[in-house]
Structure 1
Amino acid sequence: MTGLKLSKRAAPHPLDPLSAEEVISAANICRAYVAEKGLGAHRFNTITLSEPPKAELLAFERGGKYPTRMASVVMTKPPKSNPIEMELNLEEGFVVSYKTVEGVQVAIIYDDFYEVGESLFKADPQLQALCKEYGIESMDSVAVDTWPIHPVDREMGPEHRLFMGLMYWRSSADDNQYAHPLPWVPILDVESRKVIRIETAWKGPAPVAKMDSNYHHSLLEGKPRSDIKPLDIIQPEGPSFTVDGNLIKWQKWQIRVSFNWREGLVLHNVGYEDEGRLRPIMYRASIAEMAVPYAEAQEPHHRRLAFDLGDVGIGQLTNSLELGCDCLGHIHYFDAVLNNSKGEPYVIKKAICVHEEDAGIIWKHTELRNMHPEVRRGRRLVISFIATVANYEYGFYWYFGQDGAIQHEVKLTGEVSTTLASPEDGDDPRFGTLVLPNVLAAHHQHLFCARLDMAVDDEDGGRGLIVSEVDTVPLPEEDNPWHSAFMKRETDLTNEASAARVVDSTKARFWKIKNPAKRHVYSGHAASYKLVPANTQLLLGLPSSTTAERASFATKSLWVTPYDEAERYPGGDYPLQNVKTGGVAHWTKQGRPIAEGNDPVVWHVFGATHLVRPEDFPVMPVETVGFHLKPVSFFKQNPALDLPRTVNTASKLAGSCCGANGQANGTTNGHANGYTNGHTNGHTEGTVEE
């Protein structure tokens, strides 16, 4: 079949996501192949760019050959759901490889949630009868969240594709369903398209949760607050960043972005211009997996463990962002192109938001001898996307500072998942919090894993890098006569098996990714970026649990592996219903060297343990988790030293905007001059430079 025949001039950048036309072309290549081979009907799961091998991409960036444009396609052959992996050459239009992966299940795609999941649950006659007995006449008022099942079903085994449904009632179309959990958890066999059984924690009649608790503006009781005055973000000359295709340039930063169904936003080729040279910092960075285990021990709710990337794909659940609400200021959006089960492309408009925002004071000092202040306000570039996974929202934010620092932050909001409370727990349940009468919100964890393929001042993509652990410790008593001295203790991590580490806030522990070939002119230390973790908890499931086996990546704060093209996902390629998922905890048992020359990849686990509060209902205020990457001996001095002196002329004294202009200006100038002159004259006879 004829491919796209991309010319070098017309071709996208090798890392650009597939366009809608390329998705169509890939689907046509697959259809022609399975028809020619007589392989029968296939169903599309995912169609995505096959990123070029690292060596080819580095060669291209140096002016070499354009890498062949490839696509990775995962299909199934109904009624089975084993992955069928196909690699396609889009330029020439042929299938490079076709392989069935036995013993695992493909990820849940968007069509599964509603066309397969919710519709089949609600069509079940037994569930309809139970709802009528409960006083629910119409299934239109029933909502079902489709969940992956955990652990592997004891009756059906891992070879059957099973979903479980968490059921709720709605008192109106905009009502908050999580105020009205229903007592049944149906189990759906996707292959037979039937509910095979209905589980419940109740021995007798379950209580009815009828009390409404809403956040929708049309259903809120009372009027909104009226004491909030406008706070506008104004950039009269436009933003300071530029966008060329998928390449973003801002201040001295350059970042290339891409997007896929599983990870969502991915960063590539992140660099910082320093003394006329673009210095590489990161080759590729993404959030590569997330596990969400729940605390409940009582069946059937012990089944709740979701891999929000590997099981369902955070990218395909991404929101279309709203200007002025999700993002403020002068915004640039990137759309995302994905596919449905028919192999047809669809577009999520405004999937990625790029903007800049004030970041507070970036540095300041006042010379006390003459009271002369020097202060600079910083700003940061923000690249973000937001995804809704059933009840929860996750906002993923990458921040780039004018001081060369990088921060990643996840904002957690949305709704807590609820069940009917068990009468055995009384008024103080062990595994959660009562947010309404008879309505329990279970405690749970959100455990993220970032995959950081660093390239700290290394044009070879990071091959020369070393990862070390840095602790701050007191000196031994024999060398510490006053018992007050302390120092850093740095240990290189040379083997992946021993490089599995945990956060230790008692030692102010952080990790460095350093380039020993590049030394600081004054300190003599290797050019580095340090990974500064938050003091977050790891997986709480016991080591003997299937939770610990499936989410084994979440048992350590840091993993380091030598670069391998095939090792992309810390929870394994296909974690759905997979007890032995593989992933980073299993790869590192090989004990491969990660010293200089092995191109180390850093995997950082961070997260939140959410002990639910009543204040988290009916919608949860934002909770944040994340980490920092900061330069160490990378720059000669403070890289934000060259920021210009600026004053925000729109700033006013509180209340001055409500009076006449003359009064406002007089109040502002009088207060400012009085403070400046009086404070200065009290300390020195000199004058303050304005």
Structure 2
Amino acid sequence: MDVSTSPEACCARDGGVQHQASGVAPGPHPLDQLSPSEVSRASACTRAHAAAAGVPGALRFNTIMLQEPPKRALLDYMNGRAPAPPRRALVWVLNPPHGTLFEGVVELPAGGGGPDRMLAWRALEGLQPTATPCDNVLAEQIILSDQRVMDLVRERYGITDPALIVFDPWTLHGTPAGFEGRRLMQGFLYVRESPTDNEYAHPLDLLPLVDLNLGKVVNIECYDKPARLPPTSVNYHVDHANATTGGGWRTDMRPINITQPEGPSFSIDGSLVRWQKWRLRVGFNAREGLVLHEVGWEEGGRVRPILHRASLVEMAVPYGDPNEPYIRKCAFDVGDYGMGFTANSLELGCDCVGHIKYFDGVVNNAKGEPLTIRNAVCLHEEDAGMLWKHTDTRLNHVEVRRNRRLVVSMVSTFANYDYAMYWNFYLDGTLSLEMKLTGILSTTYRPLEEAPGNVPFGIDVAPGVVATNHQHLFCVRLDPAVDCHEGGRDLVVTEINADRVPLGPANPHGNAFKVSETPLLSVHAAMREADPARTRSWKVKNPSVINPITGQPVGFKLLPTHSAPMLAQPESLVGKRAFFATKHLFVTPYEDGQLYPAGDHVVQSEDCLGLRLWTADDKPLRGADPVIWHSFGITHLPRLEDFPIMPVEVVGFTLKPWGFFKWNPTLDVPPTRNAASREEAGAARARAEAAPRPRL
């Protein structure tokens, strides 16, 4: 079957992760994600407009998501000066086999305020949109139904059952000569010995190239000589894990239960979350997944803004093997596949424990139908250890308070890797982002006759199986609003460094160090790298609001973690495309529509279509409503203990109030004693027996 004859082919996901849905919640907030009904309306309007415009071919919908209102219109609404901005859907759609990408903006009047209408429509020549789950399924169907691929698998490995072949879809990082202008996917192939076997222990040396618009395999790369299948099974699946470990399950793990007998401390009103003094709005879209809006702190009967918007806007995962065909192995997961499209349906008691509030996510399939991802975002609170403590030895008096945090999280799966995103909000006004990396190493084949250990760009994780060195480079976009109710034009971003004071009259004993603060007043001056040797951090402060104790502007400080920027050469393809990962900090003047640092459409791009363009001119930042782009990540040098399943690696950053409050804001946290806590019985008896007995 030529799959190209079915351009409307769409995906289904196992385990109830996605299902078709209908209905619309009354009175959505302007920042609420599109409802299932709005997705259907947007696709219907797009079909009608495309037909009237004479667009050839059948439509294949790529992305339908909320087009957020312009910031000024949103601020006018929030401050009561204007009605709610109109609801609008951003639509990206293709027309295979022609393969033109169209962008539409559909207005969706609420409450019968008029017909849905197409406000803008344009063809985007030479650009390729996100590879959606439907695209990945289509590519797999094409490859597994290709006779040449199946013949090669049979001839080289003796495998005749196509059900055992597993295809990992990857977008192309660099288009091979002769294939320019096509919508392509490359397929790394693996084989399973059984339906639940770990395929990454059995990589094949075949790399098919698929043209999605034509619906066929257009090229196959492989070694010249026949190959042998890597023979060792290394499994993590519940059906096989004991065979891998050579033993049974651990028997000494007793339950740890998290209970909140009086319920949680948060409250929910639609997408608005109230917890302690924090206020925030939870958003979701197909591209970024979880988005935070209107983050603020309630104090004295008013909400003090902190962040207007915050989200993970791009990733780059470049692999370090310079040999063909692996030079094309690099994922821009947010832009290539979409954090929202690939969001997991989280399970109570497994992904999330405690008293949970879930938010569903709404995306679309290739037919333009809405799909609801059940439990896409998890909200819960948890104990976070000690908040503060002091023992006054003179009075023999102890004061201690427990900390807790509100956690807003989601998990997305991109073929082999799983990325878990955790935004943490603490009682003292601190917030942080933790990215937890887990899943499975993406493995490649090498001939079994080669001696183990000589792998210059990775390691052996099994005979004939290599895991390549790579990086995970994340970029978040922070639109700060520190005590700003009218946008952030007064905000100033500064850099903080701590340095030794030279020996001399000012430092005769050599113990002094000083802290310097430098305003970053232009776009080029704000291209910065972290420097742990100087305790480097960056502060966002509001000169219009002065702290009465310090006499200095109120602010929040961005505390980076130690992470290397991109290690690939700046002249390399990934160096060009992932310009955002060449520095840890960029600051740009706010512009509506500037959301994605590698560009709106990064699939098969040859250069940065976002941040590099926005920073080409050295624009002034004073009075410019600054937007912060912070990149961070890890250089992943795989280890054997990362296989067959990888324990989480954690990376992220912290935003900490810095002169934002008058003294410690947690002085009103009451002392508590957890009545459910118990001392281990044997230790309690031993302590009682060892206690000195009073003399008679």
TM-score by length of 1: 0.93
> 1:421 Cα shift?
2.3
Superposed CA deviations along residues 111-163 of structure 1, whole A, max 9, x for unmatched, are: 0111x211111111111111112111111100000101121222212x11111
Matches of 2:273 and 2:334 in 1, distance apart?
26
Q: Are 1:87 and 2:81 matched, yes or no? A: no
Superposed CA deviations along residues 626-669 of structure 1, whole A, max 9, x for unmatched, are: 00000000000111111110011111222459xxxxxx6x777x
> 1:671 Cα shift?
8.3
What is the identity, as a one-letter code, of the residue corresponding to 1:472?
A: A
Preserved CA contact (<8 Å) 2:495 2:518: yes
- Flag structure 1 segments of 5+ consecutive residues without an equivalent: 1-5, 658-663, 679-690
Preserved CA contact (<8 Å) 1:456 1:513: yes
Superposed CA deviations along residues 375-412 of structure 1, whole A, max 9, x for unmatched, are: 11100000000011000000000000000000100000
Query: Aligned residue pairs: how many?
Result: 658
What is the identity, as a one-letter code, of the residue corresponding to 2:413?
A: T
Preserved CA contact (<8 Å) 2:295 2:306: yes
Matches of 2:108 and 2:439 in 1, distance apart?
40
Report SS of the residue matched to 2:612.
helix
What is the identity, as a one-letter code, of the residue corresponding to 2:283?
A: S
Preserved CA contact (<8 Å) 1:168 1:180: yes
What is the identity, as a one-letter code, of the residue corresponding to 1:54?
A: K
Q: Are 1:210 and 2:243 matched, yes or no? A: no
> 1:34 Cα shift?
1.6
Match of 1:377 among 381, 399, 402: 402
Equivalent position of 1:444 in the other structure: 470
**Do the aligned partners of residues 455 and 208 (structure 1) sit closer, same or farther apart at CA in structure 2, a change above 3 Å counting?**
same
Q: Are 1:304 and 2:329 matched, yes or no? A: yes
What is the identity, as a one-letter code, of the residue corresponding to 2:390?
A: H
Superposed CA deviations along residues 206-252 of structure 1, whole A, max 9, x for unmatched, are: 23212111111111223210001111001100100011100010001
Matches of 1:338 and 1:104 in 2, distance apart?
21
Equivalent position of 2:202 in the other structure: 180
Q: Are 1:109 and 2:123 matched, yes or no? A: no
Matches of 1:35 and 1:437 in 2, distance apart?
55
- Flag structure 2 segments of 5+ consecutive residues without an equivalent: 1-22
Matches of 2:495 and 2:98 in 1, distance apart?
46
Instruction: Please identify, of 74-83 and 251-260, the stretch whose mean Cα deviation from structure 2 is larger.
Output: 74-83
Report SS of the residue matched to 1:653.
coil
Preserved CA contact (<8 Å) 2:39 2:369: yes
Report SS of the residue matched to 2:170.
strand
Equivalent position of 1:687 in the other structure: none
List aligned pairs for 1:129-168, cutoff 5 A: 129-133=151-155, 134-157=157-180, 159-168=181-190
Equivalent position of 1:339 in the other structure: 364
> 1:314 Cα shift?
1.4
What is the identity, as a one-letter code, of the residue corresponding to 1:377?
A: R
Match of 1:465 among 491, 496, 516: 491
Instruction: Please identify, of 542-551 and 349-358, the stretch whose mean Cα deviation from structure 2 is larger.
Output: 542-551
Preserved CA contact (<8 Å) 1:574 1:581: no
Q: Are 1:50 and 2:76 matched, yes or no? A: no
Equivalent position of 2:388 in the other structure: 363
Matches of 1:225 and 1:465 in 2, distance apart?
54
Equivalent position of 1:682 in the other structure: none
Equivalent position of 1:409 in the other structure: 434
Match of 2:273 among 248, 270, 287: 248
Preserved CA contact (<8 Å) 2:206 2:221: yes
Matches of 2:55 and 2:649 in 1, distance apart?
49
> 1:581 Cα shift?
2.8
What is the identity, as a one-letter code, of the residue corresponding to 2:343?
A: T
Matches of 1:599 and 1:34 in 2, distance apart?
38
Equivalent position of 2:597 in the other structure: 570
Equivalent position of 1:454 in the other structure: 480
Equivalent position of 1:505 in the other structure: 532
Q: Are 1:632 and 2:658 matched, yes or no? A: yes
Equivalent position of 2:150 in the other structure: 128
What is the identity, as a one-letter code, of the residue corresponding to 2:241?
A: L
Matches of 1:197 and 1:31 in 2, distance apart?
33
Matches of 1:496 and 1:291 in 2, distance apart?
23
What is the identity, as a one-letter code, of the residue corresponding to 1:94?
A: R
Equivalent position of 1:474 in the other structure: 500
**Do the aligned partners of residues 598 and 284 (structure 1) sit closer, same or farther apart at CA in structure 2, a change above 3 Å counting?**
same
Equivalent position of 1:618 in the other structure: 644
Preserved CA contact (<8 Å) 1:16 1:258: yes
Preserved CA contact (<8 Å) 1:82 1:106: no
Instruction: Please identify, of 202-211 and 386-395, the stretch whose mean Cα deviation from structure 2 is larger.
Output: 202-211
Preserved CA contact (<8 Å) 2:96 2:214: no
Matches of 1:268 and 1:326 in 2, distance apart?
24
Equivalent position of 2:419 in the other structure: 394
Q: Are 1:645 and 2:674 matched, yes or no? A: no
> 1:428 Cα shift?
2.6
Report SS of the residue matched to 1:272.
strand
Preserved CA contact (<8 Å) 2:453 2:459: no
Equivalent position of 2:571 in the other structure: 544
**Do the aligned partners of residues 286 and 113 (structure 1) sit closer, same or farther apart at CA in structure 2, a change above 3 Å counting?**
same
> 1:425 Cα shift?
7.4
List aligned pairs for 1:228-239, cutoff 5 A: 228-239=253-264
Report SS of the residue matched to 2:75.
helix
Match of 1:66 among 56, 60, 84: 84
Preserved CA contact (<8 Å) 1:421 1:434: no
Preserved CA contact (<8 Å) 1:48 1:71: yes
Matches of 1:581 and 1:522 in 2, distance apart?
45
> 1:372 Cα shift?
1.3
Preserved CA contact (<8 Å) 2:452 2:460: no
> 1:524 Cα shift?
1.2
Report SS of the residue matched to 1:315.
coil
**Do the aligned partners of residues 551 and 586 (structure 1) sit closer, same or farther apart at CA in structure 2, a change above 3 Å counting?**
same
Match of 2:625 among 599, 606, 614: 599
Equivalent position of 1:98 in the other structure: 121
Report SS of the residue matched to 2:615.
helix
Superposed CA deviations along residues 597-642 of structure 1, whole A, max 9, x for unmatched, are: 2100000000011100000000000100000000000000111111
> 1:424 Cα shift?
6.4
Matches of 2:401 and 2:561 in 1, distance apart?
27
Preserved CA contact (<8 Å) 1:499 1:558: yes
Equivalent position of 2:17 in the other structure: none
> 1:38 Cα shift?
2.5
Matches of 1:289 and 1:79 in 2, distance apart?
29
> 1:371 Cα shift?
2.7
Q: Which runs of at least 4 in structure 1 moved beyond 6 Å after TM superposition?
A: none
Q: Are 1:525 and 2:526 matched, yes or no? A: no
Report SS of the residue matched to 1:316.
coil
Equivalent position of 1:580 in the other structure: 607
Q: Are 1:293 and 2:318 matched, yes or no? A: yes
Superposed CA deviations along residues 176-205 of structure 1, whole A, max 9, x for unmatched, are: 1101101111111223222122112x3322
Preserved CA contact (<8 Å) 1:561 1:594: yes
What is the identity, as a one-letter code, of the residue corresponding to 1:636?
A: K
Matches of 2:216 and 2:285 in 1, distance apart?
31
Preserved CA contact (<8 Å) 1:271 1:279: yes
Equivalent position of 2:520 in the other structure: 493
What is the identity, as a one-letter code, of the residue corresponding to 2:392?
A: E
What is the identity, as a one-letter code, of the residue corresponding to 1:70?
A: R
**Do the aligned partners of residues 424 and 171 (structure 1) sit closer, same or farther apart at CA in structure 2, a change above 3 Å counting?**
closer
**Do the aligned partners of residues 56 and 230 (structure 1) sit closer, same or farther apart at CA in structure 2, a change above 3 Å counting?**
same
Preserved CA contact (<8 Å) 2:130 2:335: yes
Superposed CA deviations along residues 420-448 of structure 1, whole A, max 9, x for unmatched, are: 12566752301111111111011111100
Report SS of the residue matched to 2:627.
strand
Report SS of the residue matched to 2:150.
helix
> 1:573 Cα shift?
1.0
Superposed CA deviations along residues 25-62 of structure 1, whole A, max 9, x for unmatched, are: 11111111122233233221111111111111111111
RMSD: 1.9
The percent identity for this pair of structures is 46
